[in-house]
Structures are given as C-alpha cells and as structure tokens.
Structure 1
Amino acid sequence: MEQLMVVVPSLNPDDKLIQVVDGMIAAGFSYVLLVDDGSDKDHWKPFLEAEQRPACTVLRHEKNLGKGRALKTAFDYICRERRDIRGVVTVDGDNQHKPRDARRLAEELIKYPAVVMLGVRNFKEHQVPLHNRMGNMITSLVFRMLCGIALSDTQTGMRAISAEHLPRFLEVAGERFEYETNMLLFMKTAGIHFREIPIETVYIENNATSHFNPLTDSAKIYGPILKFAGGSVASAGIDLFFFTLLIWALQDMASLNRQILIATVGARAVSSLFNYTFNRRAVFSSNESRRITIVRYYFLCIVQMMISYKGVALLVGAAGFTGLGKTVVKLGVDSILFAMTFHIQREWVFKKKKSDSYIDSGVQQ
C-alpha cells in the first residue's frame, strides 16, 4: 500500500473523520489526502487534528465547491505533486466505508491496474434507508436500459483508480455529486473497464450527515438523460403535428397505407433535423465528424421510421381508427421506440472517439 493514496473529500465533518483517517492508516495505507470543501470554522477541528498525522495531507477550498470539484482537486494534486503515487482509493468521510473494504479494493487494483474497482453495497439489506434503496434501483434501471451499463450500486463513493486514469477523469464534467455519475458514463464511452467488489453496507444515523440534495443533485445526475427526453418530447411534438397535418391533407387518398407512409415520411423529415442537431450538441456532445454521425443518424432514422409506419399501419388497419385515432396510435408506437433509440444513439450514432490512451484490460466494461 506504499504507493497508493486514500482520498477523502469532506464538508463540515464531525469526529468520524478522524476515525476514517486512523482506520485507513491502521489498514496499511501510507498516505491519506483530505480535501476540505469549504467547511465552516466550527468544523475545522477534525482537519487540524488529522494534519498532525505524518501520513495525512489536507487540501482546502476557500468556499464550498462540491464533491466533484473536491475529487478533482485531489486528482490534480496527485498528478502534479505526487507522481510517485500509482493509484487512489476514494472513500467518504462519514465512516460508512470500512478500512478493510478499502484495502480489498486496493489489493485488486494492484493486481489489475487498468481496471477501476467499484465498492458496491447490498441494497437489499434491512438497514438501507428506503429513499436510498429506491434511488439506486431507479438509477440502476436507467443506467442499464438507456446507457447500457450494468451496475448494482450507482451511488458508491468507494472506488480504486489507477493514477494513469486520473488525467482523463479530470476532464469529466461535473462539480458536485453528478461528477461521480459522469465518471461512470465516461468510463463506458472511453473504454475503461470496471469490476464490482462487494463491500459492507453501512448507514450511520440513517445517512443523516450526507450533503446530497435530493432535488438539485438528482437533477444534475439525470441531466443527460433528461436532456435526451426533453429533446425527444419536442421532436415527437413536431413529428405528431406534421403527421396530423398531412393525414388531414391526404384524407381523400384512397390507399390507407400510402396515406400513412407519406405522412410518416414527411413528418419525420422535418422533426429529424431538429432531433439530430439537439442530440449531437446538447445531449451526447459527440466529437465524431458531422458526416459520419449524420449518415448513422439517418440510417437509424429510416429504420425507426419504417418500424413506426408498419406498426401504425397494422394497428390502424386492424382496429379501424380514423382521424386523431391514427395520431394516438402513432404516439404509442413511437413511445416504445424511445428507449431503444437512446441506447443506439449513445453507443453508435454519437459514440465518442476513444483516446489514444485507451486501455483494454480484458476484464469487464
């Protein structure tokens, strides 16, 4: 453990922070780095006491900047000042991460330095607060269905990371709790593999010391997904408007299938221009060339359009819907295609280029 450093971001800690520091040192870690994220004067004592330990270094923010920025401050310090460090283990300062688990992650990192180790809790245990259990269940489902990432604990702050990855994680967006979520998304797009390591599930005082804001922090965590949903809703509105308009204009056409096909193609031609531009810039921030992404996007668009056309034509023909009934059927069919298109656009259409430092560890991605 001589070349590994424990990183602990903390805001307004109590005496449990000293227990964390002493526990990590007792577990065999030679270095502990604390980041005081703008704590007030009433909470300086734990940091001042920790500084008395030769193994402990304290970095300070003049004001609260967020957990994400605190982690970045630590990573930047290690990259610039401690080039001897081979990796870090991030833990929380509320003593809910146990030293023996941190050591387990560190030992796995030593064996597989290219892999990010994630300490995962068992959310089925009775001591887990209901809001944490529900939050993790929903986020895990979203990650799996829309992002293509299978995680059993999306909220874990215990992670073991090679120093080689730290410069890349410094480029990840996010200053507060959303940064840890963005790290997971970045690992997927950058080709950085991960391994889940079971750890003890601990919630002290119902997680009362957490600084997580359920409203603002959740909004930031779900930001990319909410942007995609918002863009898709706007695009669907444009699509349905022109579909309904064309159905009305073509109401005297004898062939029902031809009427639906022309309305579907015409509406999608308009809505797809908005949807492509919005998703490329606002949601996926793709660095692929426009020529490549637009070819991929419109290939997907044509396939999706034909599935939509066939689905609407079959359902309308079977049920005999007329007028706005056709629009309702189309809304239902296109809603089913929503989750599929998010995954395909992230993984293929707007997939980010892997950097030259891409590492293939052959474990789990």
Structure 2
Amino acid sequence: MNRLDDVIVIIPSLEPNLKLLDLLEQLQNVNLNNIIIVNDGSAPSFNHIFNVAQEKYNCLVLKHYVNMGKGRALKTAMNYVLNYFPGCIGVITVDSDGQHQIDDILICAKKLIDNPSELILGYRDFDSSNVPFRSKFGNKITRQIIKFLCGIKIQDTQTGLRGIPKDFMVALLDVKGERFEFEMNMLIEAKEKDISILEYPISTVYINENSSSHFNPLKDSAKIYSIFLKFIISSFSSFIVDIGLFSIIVNLIKPVSSYYIIISTVFARLVSSIVNFALNKNRVFKSQGATKYSAIKYYILCIFQLIASALAVDALYTLCAGKVSESIIKIVVDFILFLVSFQIQREWVFRKGK
C-alpha cells in the first residue's frame, strides 16, 4: 500500500499563475495524488487555471466566493479532510507560487508518515543572499519574539510548508486567525497542546523578490502579534492604575510611616491586579478555565511579584541614597517583572487544558 495516499496536500491559492499547474504535475509525478486546492476568492479571470487543476490533474477545488484569507482557506480544507478522509494520516500545506521544491514537499510527506503525531515544519535559511529584506527581517524578529514570549524555539515562524497530523487538525479548526496570523497561532496551539515540532531544512526560493506573496508585512504582522499587543495594553492599563495609586499613597503616608513604600506597593498592586486579572482572562488569553482556579494561580503569582517589586524598589532606593525617585525605580523594576509575568501567565495561570 502506498502510504502517500494517506497524506492530503492542501494548496491555498489566491489568483495563481501557471506555476500552480507546474506544481500539480510534480506532485503527481511523486505519487502525491490527493490534492485539495482552495480558491480563496480569485477573480473570474483565473478560473481557467482552477479548471485545468480539476480536469487534468483531478484536484478537488474548494471555492471561497470572496477572499477570506489563508488561515480560513486552510481551515476550510482541513474541515473537508476530516469529513471525507477520516483514515488519513494528516495533511501537508504547500504554497501555490512555486517557492516549495518538490523534493522538500516529498520529504515533508514522508516525515509526517513516520511521525504522525508531530507538527512538521520545513524551515528556510534566512541568511541566504537571495532572501528579500522584508522576509529576512520579519522572520528573524518574529522568531526571537516567539522564543522569548512563548518559549517556542524554531527556525522559521512563517513557513508555508507544514505537515499537520489529523488529530491536531481538529484543534486547529477552533484556533483564531483568518489570514497569515493563523500560521503563528498554529505554533502557539502546538505548544499549548504539547504537540512536538519537527523541523527540517528546505530550499530557500524567492521569485521576483517574493512579489507574488499576498503577505502584508504591516497589517498581517499586527495580527500575528495581537496577543502580545493585547497583553501590553492590559498591563499598561493596570500599570497606570498601579503607578497612579502608588504615587498618591506615597505622598499621603510618607510623612507618617517609614514603611510607606511597602504599604503603597501593596495597596496599589491589590487594586491593579483585579483590573489586570479580568482583562487577561477575558480579553488577552480568553481562558475558558474555571475563574476560581485561575484566580488562585494568578494571585500566587501576584504575591511573589508584589514581594519582588517591593523589596527591589526599597533596596534600589536605599542604594541610590534617595537620588532617584521611588516612582522611577518602580517603573524599571516592574518592567522587568512584566516580561517574566507574561510567560508565567501564558504557561501556567491561563494555560489551556489539554
């Protein structure tokens, strides 16, 4: 039995050129015959390409009436696979613009067959001289951000060549993201579901400076980083509450108590933590877990963070001999604690259940 028949190829496509047909020819030459193309709202003038894909290469073409984005196209195809190919091992996703070489695609399929419970990623070499600046810069920055904030260490966060196990596809149907941000969210979901990631090197091919790509660096990067941006906004909102109350209380009780820094820190943090917990649970991480248990873990974190903040501010203020204001010192200390807190909240406090 040809195990390649148990691997479905998904190709999301928006207004493709003839390279798509070349790709289909190559796929069939290596016995990757189960191919689903998603026409993601292409103009009618591109219908002839999709017709050839159906008639000559026997591909299944699913159609979005309007452009709905790469993420939605992938989910449309995965939903179809789960319904009509229940015995499959999984799918491999391939871009339609000719950037993925057939040898690399075949390796991806074979690795998925050999590792049917792992997410397979083909990674590009961004130090190569033929990589456009926007792709090199965007991927390197994103790689460092996701490593630091999510603990995910991979070579290529935006690769379109992926092998996705069938069971993981079920979870991915509920993952947020309709456009390119879905590929980033897929990595985060794999982390949360303890899905191992297996990487392998692929050829780094960019055609005409990647001019055929529909990736918008500004718009789509903003969506990719949305969870981080929401956390920053949430933290900044509670920070304003915290530092505002801290400054007011310091001025009120400094003349009457030598413990004014610790007292001010405790009261300000208590109020701001209530604001922060509500925002993080409902807006940032959108946790469906029981509020009671999330709150217990959150306030355990808050207690340790509060103690660390109070002791650090007090120690640094003493070290500076009063030459730097308490509020300035607190800003520096709490910024460092903010970076640590994000990781702990994501990995422990609001972590999704398996």
Which category describes the TM-score, using the shorter chain as reference length? Answer: over 0.9
Q: Judge conservation of contact 1:287–1:353 (CA < 8 Å) in 2.
A: no
Which of the residues 106, 124, 127 maps onto 2:127? 124
The residue aligned with 1:66 is 69
Answering whether residue 95 of structure 2 is matched by residue 92 of structure 1, we say: yes
Give the partner amino acid of 2:247. Answer: T
> How do 1:266-345 residues align onto structure 2 when only pairs under 5 Å count?
266-321=267-322, 325-345=325-345
For 2:312 and 2:292, the matched residues in 1 are separated by: 30
The CA distance in 2 between the partners of 1:288 and 1:126, in whole Å, is 47
Q: Following TM superposition, by how much is the alpha carbon of 1:3 offset from its aligned partner in structure 2, in angstroms?
A: 1.5
1:301-359: per-residue Cα shift (whole Å, max 9, x none)?
A: 0111111111111111111236x8210110011111111100000000111111xxxxx
CA distance in 1, matches of 2:322, 2:62: 67
* 2:160 is equivalent to residue 157 of structure 1: yes
* Structure 1 Cα separation of the partners of residues 79 and 51 of structure 2: 22
Change (3 A) 1:254 1:280: closer
- 2:7–2:91 CA contact under 8 A, matched in 1: yes
Is residue 145–residue 339 contact of structure 1 (8 Å, CA) maintained in 2? Answer: no
Aligned length: 351
SS at match of 2:200: strand
State the AA in 1 paired with 2:321: G
Offset at residue 90 of structure 1 (A): 0.2
Would you say the 8 A contact 2:134–2:217 is kept in 1? no
Distance in 2 separating the partners of 1:89 and 1:139: 23
TM-score (norm 1): 0.93
**1:102 Cα deviation (Å)?**
1.0
- Unaligned residue ranges in structure 2 (runs of 5+): none
The aligned residue for residue 252 of structure 1 is: 255
Which residue in the other structure is 1:230 paired with? 233
Distance 2:294 2:87 in 1: 41
Structure 1 SS opposite 2:199: strand
The yes-or-no answer on 1:183 pairing with 2:189 is no
Alpha-carbon RMSD across the aligned residues, in angstroms, is: 1.3
Choose the corresponding residue for 2:169, options 166, 181, 184: 166
Q: Is the 8 A contact 1:17 1:93 kept in 2?
A: yes
| Cα offset, 1:86, TM superposition | 2.3
Aligned residue type for 1:92: D
Aligned to 1:207: 210
Displacement of 1:28 in angstroms is 2.2
Quick check: 283-292 or 3-12, which moved more? 283-292
**Superimposed CA distance per residue, residues 284-303 of structure 1 (whole angstroms, 9 cap, x where no aligned partner):** 11122111111111111011
Q: Is the 8 Å Cα contact of residues 115 and 162 (structure 1) preserved in structure 2?
A: yes
2-side partners of 1:162 and 1:231: how far apart? 35
Q: Secondary structure at the match of 2:217?
A: coil
The match for 2:116 is: 113
**Deviation larger for 18-27 or 220-229:** 18-27
1:127 partner SS:
coil
> Structure 2 length as normaliser, TM-score?
0.96
> How far apart are the structure 2 equivalents of 1:87 and 1:259?
61
* 1:193 corresponds to which of 176, 196, 203: 196
Kindly state the Cα deviation for residue 138 of structure 1 after the two structures are TM-superposed: 1.2
**Residue by residue, what CA displacement relative to the aligned partner does 1:206-244 show, whole Å, maximum 9, x if unpaired?**
110111122221111111110001101111111100010
**3-state DSSP of counterpart to 1:133:** helix
Indicate conservation of the 8 Å contact 1:115/1:193, yes or no: yes
Q: Deviations over 1:228-274 (max 9, x none)?
A: 0110111111110001001100121352xx11100100110110000
1:54 Cα deviation (Å)? 4.3
Identity over the aligned pairs, expressed in percent? Answer: 40
- Which of these residues, 74, 81, 86, is aligned with residue 84 of structure 2? 81
- Counterpart secondary structure, 1:28: coil
What amino acid maps onto 1:344 in structure 2? I
Tell me which amino acid in the other structure corresponds to 2:19: K
Q: Is the 8 A contact 1:105 1:119 kept in 2?
A: yes
How much does 1:164 deviate?
A: 2.5
Runs (4+) of structure 1 exceeding 6 A deviation are none
CA distance in 1, matches of 2:257, 2:181: 54
1:150-200: per-residue Cα shift (whole Å, max 9, x none)?
111000111011222222211111111111111111111112111111111
1:296 match: secondary structure? helix
One-letter code aligned to 1:90: T
- Give the Cα separation in 2 of the matches to 1:321 and 1:78: 66
CA distance in 1, matches of 2:12, 2:164: 15
Q: Distance in 2 between matches of 1:288 and 1:72?
A: 25
Contact 2:25–2:57, Cα closer than 8 Å, also in 1 = no
Q: Would the aligned equivalents of 1:27 and 1:100 in 2 still touch at CA under 8 Å?
A: no
What is the CA–CA distance in structure 1 between the aligned matches of 2:147 and 2:322, rounded to whole Å? 36
Q: Quote how far apart the aligned CAs of 1:45 are.
A: 2.1
Task: Give ranges in structure 1 of 5+ residues lacking alignment.
Answer: 355-365
Structure 2 counterpart SS, 1:231: helix
Residue pair 2:9, 2:32 contacting (<8 A) in 1 also: yes
d(CA) in 1 for partners of 2:139, 2:57: 38
What's 1:347 paired with?
A: 347
**Paired residues of 2:261 and 2:314 also in contact (CA < 8 A):** yes
- Distance in structure 2 (CA, Å) of the matches to 1:284 and 1:311: 29
Counterpart of 2:48 in structure 1 is: 45
2:311 partner amino acid: K
